[in-house]
Amino acid sequence: MKLDSKIPSGPLAQKWDKHKFDMKLVNPANKRKFDVIVVGSGLAGASSAATMAELGYRVKCFCFQDSPRRAHSIAAQGGINAAKNYQNDGDSVYRLFYDTIKGGDFRAREANVYRLAQVSVNIIDQCVAQGVPFAREYGGLLANRSFGGAQVSRTFYARGQTGQQLLLGAYQALCRQIGKGNVKMYPRTEMVDLVVVDGHAKGVIIRDLVTGEITAHAADAVVLATGGYGNVFYLSTNAKGCNVTATWRAYKKGAAFANPCYTQIHPTCIPVSGEHQSKLTLMSESLRNDGRVWVPKKKGDTRRPDQIPEEERDYVLERKYPSFGNLAPRDISSRAAKEVCDEGRGVGPGGLGVYLDFADAIKRLGEDTIRERYANLFDMYEKITGENAYKTPMRIYPAVHYTMGGSWVDYNLMSSIPGLFVIGEANFSDHGANRLGASALMQGLADGYFILPYTIGNYFASEKQPKPKLDHPEFKKAMEGVQALTKKLLSINGKRTVTSFHRELGKLMWDKCGMARSAESLKEALKRIPELRAEFWKNVKVTGEGAALNQDLEAAGRVADFLEFAELLCLDALTREESCGGHFRVEYQEEGEAKRDDEHFAFVSAWEYQGPDKPPILNKEPLVYEEVHMSTRSYK
């Protein structure tokens, strides 16, 4: 496979403008002749579907939720970055670009990130015009706050519900187009296969989750906006329904999968309380502004936290990173928590947790100030744990939160299958090996509102591929494949539930390919995953029937894909013999810190499927930095 990133020539700051001019346009009257399928209705999916419909394309949008308003973008709390420099504190497009590249540990594509920073300012304008109720100052202007990895205040927010409000903005724009008849919305549907005709993506196979009916849909282009794959770890902060199925089935049709080993683990989540746990809940990182992280010095200390005297406490982050202290970046804080728990000094049930203690801040500022700052988070913590964090320290533990890897895309956000575009968290392009806070919302909306609607027109105007009819043999073949898979899952009738496999896979991934990875642990995982997969296909029990609402069957299909995908994730982690961002290999460290190897690993790993029993091919897209100098991150 030849990977052409199609980065425009010319100076970095002018690439996007130049490219916009160079791209071919589709005449307004001709736009209505093109059908586009959008899978997913989160920030990227809803914003792109609405915008393309406004331009005149005929859009079909599919989502597995019962309404497009429920996609998991809704759960983002913190905010959205934009280089507006409203605070007059020295922010600029270049600074946002540089912070993002550096935060990504120099593993992102320079031109994409620069464009992201450029369009960030348009996103805020667009959202304000839609009526997104961003926080305001008394003078009526927009308020900002600061966030991890940046020294300027460039984060816009709407209480603790920024993701929800941005998604409702995009959802309402989408609803407007549905009402006008320009978008046909299909809630409670799942994409189960991609259809490729003569090398171009020309349609999808869809399962109706209410009736179980399987239908084919043809189009001139397909857009995947299907989110990340964090649920391969079973427990993550993702919603229960989040899955890798769309991008994975596209991978098996030829869409290269890039950097699957770049997974982000968030340090401040509520710890697991038992085997029954179905998901993990994130507590905003802002808590670390006032909370102090500590564990007992003694192993297996089961005393209540208030019985442990000051001199018997280890304030881990303050000890290891005196200059950043409790505000050390996500990956570093997460690893520090894991280390002390591995030493047997973790707190709470199961010993997987560290304290985040607000006692000093409450003494210094008073309980009212802390309440003002974090009341909603303290309330949420109490709902879940039944503990009052004003009186006793919170317990936190890292959890999988976001996945930087995804389908490989070029500068036009097109995958290695022409006509298949991948946007938002589902692609790999902008965050490198680690994403900064408040940047996921920015990327989803940049792709959907301001990038894809341009680049897809260029594809239509240059390729002029005919849209196939639904009786084309490729559609028939894909339909039959899906039906056979459903039949097979329902006929195994083994002894283990789908969840038990998912849970076992997740635990394996977390232990062997989680916060710290080694050649040894990864090889063990690579041996165990195929065994587990084989057992799944022999011994899983899926109840009910195919032609009905069957949540067990839905889960089975997704877990089947995770069982394949997990292997690629581990393989990618094994071949990347360096530590960078969210990928920490214990063999590659210097005084406990991640050691990047720019000489040998400054590339994107784009994996190419070869067939069910053949190892995939690793294609490398070199990362060329024209503008920035690759430096080492240090937080000591």
Partner 1 sequence: MNLTLRVWRQKDANDPGKMVEYPANNIIPDMSFLEMLDVVNEGLIAKGEDPIAFDSDCREGICGTCSLVINGVAHGGQRGTTACQLHMRFFKDGDTITIEPWRARAFPVLKDLVTDRGAFDRIVQAGGFVSVNTGGTPDGNAIPVGKVESDLAMDAAACIGCGACVAACKNASAMLFVSAKVSHLSLLPQGKVEKNQRVLSMVKQMDKEGFGNCTVTGSCEAVCPKEISLNFIARMNREYGMATLKGADIKGRSGD
84 near partner 1, judged by CB under 8 A: yes
Q: How far is CA 620 from the centre of its chain?
A: 22
Q: How far is CA 516 from the centre of its chain?
A: 19
What minimum distance in Å lies between the beta carbon of 27 and partner 1?
18
273 near partner 1, judged by CB under 8 A: yes
d(CA 271, CA 279): 10
d(CA 269, CA 386): 15
Q: Which two tokens stand for residue 566?
A: 């997990």
Of 64, 418, 47, 46, give the one whose Cα is nearest residue 221.
418
d(CA 158, CA 143): 9
d(CA 99, CA 113): 10
Bridge pairing between strands 80-81 and 153-156: antiparallel
Contacting partner 1 within 594-633 (CB under 8 A) = none
Among 3, 5, 51, 113, indicate the residue that binds partner 1 (CB under 8 A).
51
Contacting partner 1 within 188-227 (CB under 8 A) = 210
Contacting partner 1 within 58-77 (CB under 8 A) = 65-70, 72, 74-75
- Span of 278-286, 330-338, 507-515, 588-596 interacting with partner 1 by CB under 8 A: 278-286
d(CA 399, CA 352): 11
Specify the residue, 42 or 468, whose C-beta has the smaller distance to partner 1: 42
450 near partner 1, judged by CB under 8 A: yes
180 near partner 1, judged by CB under 8 A: yes
Residues in the chain: 636
Of 511, 499, 581, give the one whose Cα is nearest residue 264.
581
187 near partner 1, judged by CB under 8 A: yes
- Span of 193-201, 235-243, 396-404, 578-586 interacting with partner 1 by CB under 8 A: 235-243
Q: Which residues contact 314 (CB under 8 A, 6 or more apart)?
A: 294, 295, 296, 297, 340, 345
Contacting partner 1 within 303-362 (CB under 8 A) = none
- Span of 9-17, 136-144, 285-293, 418-426 interacting with partner 1 by CB under 8 A: 136-144
d(CA 176, CA 168): 12
What minimum distance in Å lies between the beta carbon of 594 and partner 1?
30
d(CA 567, CA 527): 9
Specify the residue, 16 or 428, whose C-beta has the smaller distance to partner 1: 16
Beta bridge partners of 314: 295
499 near partner 1, judged by CB under 8 A: yes
- Alpha carbon distance, N-terminus to C-terminus of the chain: 42
Contacting partner 1 within 31-50 (CB under 8 A) = 47, 50
What minimum distance in Å lies between the beta carbon of 50 and partner 1?
7
Of 358, 365, 419, 410, give the one whose Cα is nearest residue 388.
358
d(CA 346, CA 369): 29
d(CA 397, CA 346): 9
449 near partner 1, judged by CB under 8 A: yes
Does the active-site annotation cover 533?
A: no
* Active-site hit among 330, 395, 533, 558: 330
Specify the residue, 384 or 461, whose C-beta has the smaller distance to partner 1: 384
Beta bridge partners of 594: 589
173 near partner 1, judged by CB under 8 A: yes
Sign of CA dihedral 384, 385, 386, 391: negative
What minimum distance in Å lies between the beta carbon of 30 and partner 1?
19
Specify the residue, 84 or 576, whose C-beta has the smaller distance to partner 1: 84
Neighbours of 495 (CB within 10 A): 10
Specify the residue, 179 or 622, whose C-beta has the smaller distance to partner 1: 179
Among 14, 551, 575, 632, indicate the residue that binds partner 1 (CB under 8 A).
551
Q: Which two tokens stand for residue 92?
A: 């600029």
What SS3 string covers 55-96? HCCEEEEECCCCCHHHCHHHHCCCCEECCCCCCCCCCCHHHH
Among 29, 129, 310, 614, indicate the residue that binds partner 1 (CB under 8 A).
129
Bridge pairing between strands 214-218 and 589-590: unpaired
92 near partner 1, judged by CB under 8 A: no
88 near partner 1, judged by CB under 8 A: no
d(CA 598, CA 618): 18
Stretch 523-542: interaction string toward partner 1, x if CB under 8 A: ------------------x-
Among 57, 62, 97, 134, indicate the residue that binds partner 1 (CB under 8 A).
134
Angle, CA 244 vertex, CA 102 and CA 564 arms, to 5°: 105
Specify the residue, 38 or 197, whose C-beta has the smaller distance to partner 1: 38
Of 603, 576, 597, 633, give the one whose Cα is nearest residue 261.
576
- Span of 155-163, 312-320, 426-434, 477-485 interacting with partner 1 by CB under 8 A: 155-163
What minimum distance in Å lies between the beta carbon of 127 and partner 1?
8
- Span of 21-29, 234-242, 420-428, 465-473 interacting with partner 1 by CB under 8 A: 234-242
Among 20, 33, 145, 176, indicate the residue that binds partner 1 (CB under 8 A).
176
Specify the residue, 86 or 635, whose C-beta has the smaller distance to partner 1: 86
Among 62, 171, 233, 501, indicate the residue that binds partner 1 (CB under 8 A).
171
Neighbours of 32 (CB within 10 A): 13
At position 236, the amino acid (one-letter code) is S
At position 85, the amino acid (one-letter code) is N
Among 38, 168, 265, 516, indicate the residue that binds partner 1 (CB under 8 A).
168
Specify the residue, 187 or 325, whose C-beta has the smaller distance to partner 1: 187
- Span of 138-146, 191-199, 428-436, 623-631 interacting with partner 1 by CB under 8 A: 138-146
Contacting partner 1 within 355-414 (CB under 8 A) = 380, 383-386
d(CA 353, CA 332): 16
Specify the residue, 445 or 604, whose C-beta has the smaller distance to partner 1: 445
Total residues binding partner 1 (CB under 8 A): 84
277 near partner 1, judged by CB under 8 A: yes
Contacting partner 1 within 240-269 (CB under 8 A) = 240-241
491 near partner 1, judged by CB under 8 A: no
> Within 13 A of 590's CA, how many CA atoms are on the CB side?
9
- Span of 117-125, 227-235, 321-329, 411-419 interacting with partner 1 by CB under 8 A: 117-125
What minimum distance in Å lies between the beta carbon of 449 and partner 1?
5
518 near partner 1, judged by CB under 8 A: no
Element (DSSP H or E) covering residue 570? helix 551-575
d(CA 158, CA 79): 7
Among 497, 518, 539, 589, indicate the residue that binds partner 1 (CB under 8 A).
497
Among 46, 111, 116, 185, indicate the residue that binds partner 1 (CB under 8 A).
185
Question: Which positions are annotated as active-site residues?
Answer: 330
